[in-house]
Chain A
Amino acid sequence: MKKNHIIDLKSITKEYDGQTVLDNISFYVRKNEFVTLLGPSGCGKTTTLRIIGGFEQPTEGKVIFEGEDITNLPPYKRQINTVFQKYALFPHMNVYDNIAFGLNIKKLPKDEIKKRVKEMLKLVNLAGFEDRSIQSLSGGQQQRVAIARALVNEPKVLLLDEPLGALDLKLRKEMQTELKNMQKRVGITFIYVTHDQEEALTMSDTIVVMDKGVIQQIGTPVDIYNEPKNAFVAKFIGESNIIDGIMREDFVVEFAGKVFDCIDKGFDKNEEIEVVVRPEDIIITEPEKGQLQGRITSVTFKGVHYEMLCNDGQFVWKIHSTIMKPVGAEVGLCVAPENIHVMKKAMKR
């Protein structure tokens, strides 16, 4: 095993009543890394996290923690803490006692506990909230208490299951930044679960994209955005145009009835492939200067940019641009070679 791996999932499979929920999941997490499990609801993110936390046993496969097999270790013996999806704060305790819970269990000296709880409260911006009851806190404040309650134990890994899911948009954005800063400051490995691709892209060092219990792609946010491995990832991460094409040779691809230069290689000659082009990578030009020609069929203002649909006769391209062309305008479309992403064709089912 590699030195800096803190967690290794080895071929994890999980079945509930004969139904496969996780299918041969393998990935590793490096020390101090911020890893996000990203995928649509029901794809098995929570189950994966619960297996790492010890709340579920995998049907097959192993969980390795710092080189040791912990698959059968109960949660209370793992150096891992969890921020639960609905916080799961103890309603019969005040903020102080909630945060001190883990330290009290470890029977630390009282003044040490007090010191660490105070530090934590400061870290999550809740200084002075010691005696407040859980019921009197807002969602965002409860969220912070849940994070403090986990972090105060100085776990080696913190698991977070959609921790910002219940917050409104503005607060969610703030907390994203705060969480990321907190993670850098305390230097703890975070394994974070979300179905929000934007959240994953802004916060993570590494993203594990999942669908239907299968890992679709593992990579940095930039990799995953720019080089989606298949149509699922391309569609799930941001908006995209996905069109069938043929790889004529290395660095040459044909789609929409035209031949384009690209930066992809290693495909069979004349292999049928799919091409991904992000809407913001399409440049609108004069009709005669474009690689493709088409007519604008719809325009929507999206706040910062316009979203336009352009029909080239075979395919409707989605385009994001700050320059607006009116409906009916004849335009040319250009895509730079590095913005053409060639993917293996997904298995037809």
Chain B
Amino acid sequence: MKMKIFSYPYMLWLAIFIVVPLILVLLYAVTVTEGGSITFTIENLRRFLDPNYIDVLWISIKLALETTVITLILGYPIGMIIAKEKPSRRNTMILLFVIPMWMNFLLRTYAWLTLLGKNGIINYFITLLGFEPMNLLYNDGAVLLGMVYNFLPFMVLPIYSVLAKIDYSLIEAAEDLGANKYQIFTKVTLPLSVPGIITGITMVFMPAVSTFVISRLLGGGQYMLIGNLIEQQFLWVGDWHFGSAISIIMMIFILIAMAITSKFDTQKEGSSGLW
């Protein structure tokens, strides 16, 4: 109980920077300003039901899901390989994954522009081989590539850290009881790494749904995700009410997704998740 007093500054911080903005967003979402007077309405939310907007939401969720699945498929084996290394080499390998994250997110994405562009390095080699330069940028693939590239470390790190913590004698015990490599993986390693997978999915899916930078840079100006839609409402259209409504809707979808994922986390220390 004594410790409580030390949490007050933190609580205050939470209130100012998280709770208050959230309430403001919620307020904006359910109000309109007409000639200086504010009225409550659900019009903003209703506007979103327009098929065009629903389409954007669907594409965003689909892209985020694809990104999550691909980073998981790539990230799990990577995490496993690193966790199997000697401790001295592990740190180097982890560093290799973390260093790009220290670089600005925009810079990293711009790097792909120079790689994939009309006059980029890949096209240079393609023309060198005698083929026509290809249109690598401004399509779904380029956006997906950028997303996977940017979010992969967020999948690898939690999976790696859970795998590295698995007591090796458990693997030996399984082997002792007759399990081959494949059975050890499905019956021991995989179930024990579920918390890492859940964290990885959370850490990739949430930012992936709301991203707008990657899609704008690699997908071109016309590529519209829900993140771009919100950005557009706030910065260009100036309709903060509709922008807030979209934000709220997106938040609801993220919460639903997290609730579903956490259902798979059957570990006893389950409180590590969001619920």
Contacts and interface: CB of A to CB of B under 8 A. Distances in A.
A318 interface: no
Contacts of B167: 86, 88
A90 to B, nearest CB: 6
Interface residues of B, number: 20
B177 A86 contact: no
Given A81-B177, A92-B267, A135-B268, A105 B183 contact: yes
A163 to B, nearest CB: 13
Among B173, B177, B192, which residue has the most Cβ atoms of chain A within 10 A?
B177
Interface string B90-102: 0000000000000
A158 B267 CA distance: 31
Contacts, number: 62
Contact of A90 (B170, B180, B267): B170
Contacts of A195: none
Nearest to A92: B191
Nearest to A53: B176
A91 interface: yes
Given A90-B188, A101-B187, A76 B178 contact: yes
Contacts of A84: 169, 172-173, 176
B177 A153 contact: yes
Contact of B178 (A90, A106, A133): A106
A91 B192 contact: yes
B267 A81 contact: no
Nearest to A134: B268
Contact of B172 (A55, A105, A150): A55
Contacts of B268: 133, 135
A102 interface: yes
B65 interface: no
A101 B177 contact: yes
Contact of A81 (B176, B188, B266): B176
A57 interface: no
A279 interface: no
Interface string B243-275: 000000000000000000000001110000000
B55 interface: no
Interface string A92-131: 1000000001100110000000000000000000000000
A55 B173 CA distance: 10
A76 B173 contact: no
Interface in A168-200: none
A326 interface: no
A102 B175 contact: no
Interface in B12-53: none
B179 interface: yes
B76 to A, nearest CB: 17
B179 A105 contact: yes
Nearest to A152: B177
Among A84, A89, A133, A135, which residue has the most Cβ atoms of chain B within 10 A?
A84
Contact of B175 (A74, A86, A90): A74
A139 interface: no
Contact of A105 (B170, B178, B266, B267): B178
B170 A88 contact: yes
Given A88-B167, A90-B188, A133-B268, A82 B179 contact: no
Given A55-B175, A84-B176, A92-B266, 8 more contacts: A74-B175, A76-B178, A76-B179, A81-B176, A81-B177, A133-B268, A135-B268, A153-B178
29 contacts: A55-B175, A55-B176, A75-B172, A75-B176, A76-B175, A76-B176, A76-B177, A76-B178, A76-B180, A81-B176, A81-B177, A84-B173, A85-B169, A88-B167, A88-B170, A88-B172, A88-B173, A90-B173, A91-B170, A92-B191, A92-B192, A101-B179, A102-B178, A105-B178, A105-B179, A105-B183, A149-B177, A150-B177, A153-B177
Name the 6 nearest CB pairs between A and B, nearest first: A102-B177, A88-B169, A88-B173, A105-B178, A75-B175, A82-B176
